[in-house]
Amino acid sequence: MSHPRATVTAQIETLADVDRLLRETVATEQKIDEELEELLVSQGKDVLESVTTRLQQVTADRLSKALEGVHELSRTTRETADMADAVSFKIRNVDMKQSRVREALRRIDGIQDRVRAIDGCKKAIDADDVGVAVGCVSQFWDIVEESGGEDEEMEKQREMMKRYAKICEERVREKTREAMEGKNHDMFTTYVQMFGPLRLQKEGLKYLEEYIGGLVGARAQQEYDALVDGFSLTGAKVTYVDALSNVLKDVAQSIDEYVEVMRDAFGPEYALEGVHALHKEADVRGTRVLKRFIEEKGLVKMCSQINNRIDGSMTQDTLIDARKVEPLLMDLLVMCTRGEEYIQFVLQCMADAAAPNDVSPSLETSVRGGDFGSSLREILSYYISLEEYYVEESVSKAIEIDEAVHGSLTSSMVDDSFYILLSSGKRALSTGRAPSAVAILNQINTVISSLYRSSLVKKLQGCPSKLASCAPSSQQEKYNPNADKYAIIMNDVDLSASYIDKLRAQLDDIAGRVFASSSNDYERVRLVLADLSKTSADMKKLAEQATEQLSTSIMSKLRPILDAFVANSYELSDDEAVNDGWSVSLIQAFEQAFTWLQNILSPELYDKVVESSVDKIVSRMEASVAQKQFSQLGGLQLEKDVRSLIIGLSESTTVSMRDKFSRLQQIATVLGVETAAEATDLIGDSNIAWKLTSLDVRQMLNLRIDFSQKQDSRFSNKEERQLKSLNKEFPLEVRKKVDLSKVQWESIKPWIAKRTTELLGGLEDDILINFIIDMVENKKTLDPRRIYISLTGFLEQNTGVFVKELWTLLIDASSSETGVPKAFVQEVKHEPPEDGGYRERDIEYRGRGRRRDDGYDDGRSRRRRRDSQSRSYDRYDDHRSGRRYRESYDDDEYRYRRYSRRRSRSGSRRRRRRRSPSVEAKMKQAGIKTEHVKKEEEL
């Protein structure tokens, strides 16, 4: 039986075994500790002592075994490390010996290679094979550079190779000169590359520059002489564009052919220098052609004359014909374009030659800022001046020779002008330079917005009304032949707006392609093109104004029929006859008023005119409906009339009449319901797109004579809530009661018309003005909140401003003795005298239409007082008559009664005093007519 210690020692082979035995020992010790704790509790101190003694024996035994294993493992590790050091030392010695052997072999190979290079060079020279000899020379110097070091044998070889290299250099120079003299291109290319292996790069570049310069210069000189003489040796005419193009083409081809040769033979640095050297030929030859072109064409004098025209010093005799400028523009454009393309090509070749390094900024500046680049910029400046002049003069000529084109709805001016503008824009963008493109595009926008637009405005003056006056009196008659002329002007304005948008889109597309590689230049061009959008918007506004004027002029012929609708009663009973003839008359009148325009107006413009007129008809009818009373039968009749209008008017145009009359048709539907609850059900129908609000329905139901205002509490509650929501907008101190019987409405009406027009942006809406006047005039009571609700759909965000100002004037007028707002009187009072004379203000008595001295009476004063007492202030313009309210102002009327007679207090004599315009005249200027003025007009 083996000893336990020997067994444990045999188990220890690695450090892991020692660690495992140590863990087992610790685990055994912990187990023993637990047993001791149990024994202490159960058997007491005696058991503890016996266990402790046994534990010490076991632990000491195991620890001693582990310690012995550790010592044994340490001894084995030291022996292994000593053996590894010995092996490593031997390996290092072997590597050192191998390195020495390789170095010796390399030296031997180097010596052999040098010897072979020298022998090969000698044999090649003897055989007159210059290419092989140059290759051997290059190989020898490469071997020397790689081997490094110096010894006696290498020195001898170097001296020998130098002698052979000189022989090669002489022969390469001789062959190169021979190729240059014989203009043998292939031979020259072959031998010029040999300067690189011979370490003569600069000399090779000189030969290359001399050879290329000779070829390019000879051809350039021939073409230059042909330009001077007027014809070439072949008899063909040579142009400056061809001469410049050939020079740039020859230099570019030479650079393209030799850039790789120079890079491979001379290296990137010398290749970059070679490209720049070849470019100098373009600097010399190209600049010479450009200078000759400027001198022969007289561009300096021509541009000076153009500048004098701007200053106003150009006479008719010195005026330059735009037709002579256009060929110059083409030549200038081609020269600028090809010059820019050439410079971009040279810069790209320089970048390829210098790769992977970058071209220095100074070298790039020398290309762009050289003689050719400077001449090119000078040519470009002449192009810009001439192009701007050409655009303006050509468009002026197109406007001057404007004429109607047979079979066309527009005149020749529109197509000619925009063809000129598009051509100029394309030329400017094709230069590839953002500054020139921006300058010409700015000029195009200026010509359109000033010269072209002013000509249209001048032709358009009075044109809509004249066109409307050419309408036939019946469908059988033919319209006035002058209508074609006026219609063409209207079409020109409308089409010009769309042409401007089309022009901007085309130029934007071209700019995107030209400046695709330069986002900054493209953004600069787009900023200028954005101005064309503003010009287009201005032209569209002009076209809209003309359309509105034409529509207004035509609507005057339809107003009598609309007046018939206004006068028509819809309080119908079962036994009462229905009067629906007005709708048939309106359809017939509409066809007569518009059908003849279809053949002379463009389809787009015709639809716009019809749409504007239909809007006026609908607005007038809606305003009239709001002032009527309806029975159920009347509501049904209105619905029938509206449907008849939709069907009848749809035959005259492509405009959707159903959309135009949809709101009015819904109003008629509400007015034809049997009960208010039925209207509520209609509003709640989600299948119908209702344009009426609950408040609108409530107001329509109030027009029914057989409905009570409280039949449906839902509408009433909504109206009450809306009125309460306006209490903040109109507090009690603002909406205080006004005694409307004291208000002189003739002084308020002009203000309503003027202020409404201002809030609508200058658009005078007669229908809205009459609607407001009918809503407030001769009413017993008014609530500003209800006025606000009624006008919100028309004035939108300006409704509150208008209602507050109107209510303030009504309060002011009701508190005045004359019924005229004191603000109007004060405004008249503070105006300066017209001629600086003495003022004599009689505000109050003139506001009442009486003179201060009641003792003085001439028949006219008595009539004025009598008429003033009996006047009931009837409406000047009832909306049913359709007549305009506002009076036209006459300066002569303004000055009537400027000089008045005043009776002196003593009664002994009368004297005439020079006075400033009277209050009555001032009120006349403000649109307020006093009684005696109206009476005098009637007389």
Q: What is the CA radius of gyration of the chain?
A: 53
For residues 504 and 527, give the distance between their C-alpha atoms in angstroms, rounded to a whole number: 11
- Cβ-count burial 724-739 (b if 16+ within 10 Å, e if not): eebeeebeeeebeebe
Return the pLDDT at 315.
55
Return the pLDDT at 69.
78
For residues 135 and 190, give the distance between their C-alpha atoms in angstroms, rounded to a whole number: 13
Residue 411 DSSP class: B
Identify which has the larger pLDDT, 625 or 102: 625
Distance of CA 803 to CAs 615, 737, 770, 875, Å? Answer: 25, 14, 16, 21
With CA atoms as reference, report the closest residue to 611 among 690, 689, 554. Answer: 554
Residue 681 CB-density burial (10 A; 0-12 exposed, 13-18 middle, 19+ buried): exposed
For residues 732 and 658, give the distance between their C-alpha atoms in angstroms, rounded to a whole number: 43
Give percent of the chain above pLDDT 90.
8
Return the pLDDT at 507.
93
For residues 534 and 500, give the distance between their C-alpha atoms in angstroms, rounded to a whole number: 10
Q: How confident is residue 870, by pLDDT bands cut at 50, 70 and 90?
A: very low
Residue 499 has pLDDT above 90, yes or no: yes
Q: Which token pair is 81?
A: 């490390």
For residues 703 and 626, give the distance between their C-alpha atoms in angstroms, rounded to a whole number: 8
Residue 321 DSSP class: P
Q: How confident is residue 45, by pLDDT bands cut at 50, 70 and 90?
A: low
For residues 438 and 441, give the distance between their C-alpha atoms in angstroms, rounded to a whole number: 5
Q: How confident is residue 47, by pLDDT bands cut at 50, 70 and 90?
A: low
Tell me how crowded residue 281 is: count the other CB atoms within 10 A of its CB: 24
Say if CB 65 and CB 3 are below 8 A apart.
Answer: no
For residues 583 and 562, give the distance between their C-alpha atoms in angstroms, rounded to a whole number: 9
Model confidence over 283-327: pLDDT tens digits? 888 888 888 888 888 888 888 888 776 555 555 555 777 888 888
Q: Which token pair is 501?
A: 């948008």
3-state DSSP helix/strand/coil % of the chain, to nearest 5: 75, 0, 25
Residue 928 DSSP class: -
For residues 421 and 447, give the distance between their C-alpha atoms in angstroms, rounded to a whole number: 9
For residues 769 and 527, give the distance between their C-alpha atoms in angstroms, rounded to a whole number: 42
Residue 178 has pLDDT above 70, yes or no: yes
Q: How confident is residue 176, by pLDDT bands cut at 50, 70 and 90?
A: confident
Kindly report the pTM of this predicted structure: 0.59
Model confidence over 760-807: pLDDT tens digits? 777 777 777 878 887 787 777 777 777 877 777 777 778 888 888 888
Give percent of the chain above pLDDT 70.
77
For residues 934 and 939, give the distance between their C-alpha atoms in angstroms, rounded to a whole number: 9
Amino acid sitting at position 13: E
Mean of the per-residue pLDDT values of the chain: 76
HEC string of 340-359?
Answer: HHHHHHHHHHHHHHHCCCCC
For residues 134 and 199, give the distance between their C-alpha atoms in angstroms, rounded to a whole number: 10
Model confidence over 553-606: pLDDT tens digits? 888 888 888 888 888 888 887 666 566 678 888 888 888 888 888 888 998 999
Q: How confident is residue 98, by pLDDT bands cut at 50, 70 and 90?
A: confident
Return the pLDDT at 302.
85
Amino acid sitting at position 124: A
HEC string of 599-620?
Answer: CCCCHHHHHHHHHHHHHHHHHH
Q: Is the dihedral of CA 485, 487, 493, 497 positive or negative?
A: negative
Return the pLDDT at 761.
73
Say if CB 68 and CB 9 are below 8 A apart.
Answer: yes
- Cβ-count burial 244-265 (b if 16+ within 10 Å, e if not): bbbbbebbbebbeebbebbbeb
Q: How far apart are the first and last CA of the chain?
A: 161
Residue 290 CB-density burial (10 A; 0-12 exposed, 13-18 middle, 19+ buried): buried
Residue 450 DSSP class: I
Identify which has the larger pLDDT, 564 or 681: 564
The DSSP code sequence of 677-709 is HHHHHHHT-TTS-----HHHHHHHHTTBTT--T
Residue 914 has pLDDT above 60, yes or no: no
Identify which has the larger pLDDT, 42 or 132: 132
Say if CB 244 and CB 292 are below 8 A apart.
Answer: no
Model confidence over 828-866: pLDDT tens digits? 555 544 444 333 333 333 333 333 333 334 443 433 333
The DSSP code sequence of 141-163 is HHHHHHH----HHHHHHHHHHHH
Please give the backbone phi and psi of residue 586, each rounded to the nearest 5 degrees, phi first.
Answer: -65, -40
* All residues at 6 or more sequence positions from 369 whose CB lies less than 8 Å from its CB, including other chains: none
Question: How many degrees, rounded to 5, is the angle at CA 897 between CA 891 and CA 901?
Answer: 160
Amino acid sitting at position 88: S
Q: How confident is residue 422, by pLDDT bands cut at 50, 70 and 90?
A: very high
pLDDT (mean) for 7-28: 72
Return the pLDDT at 44.
59
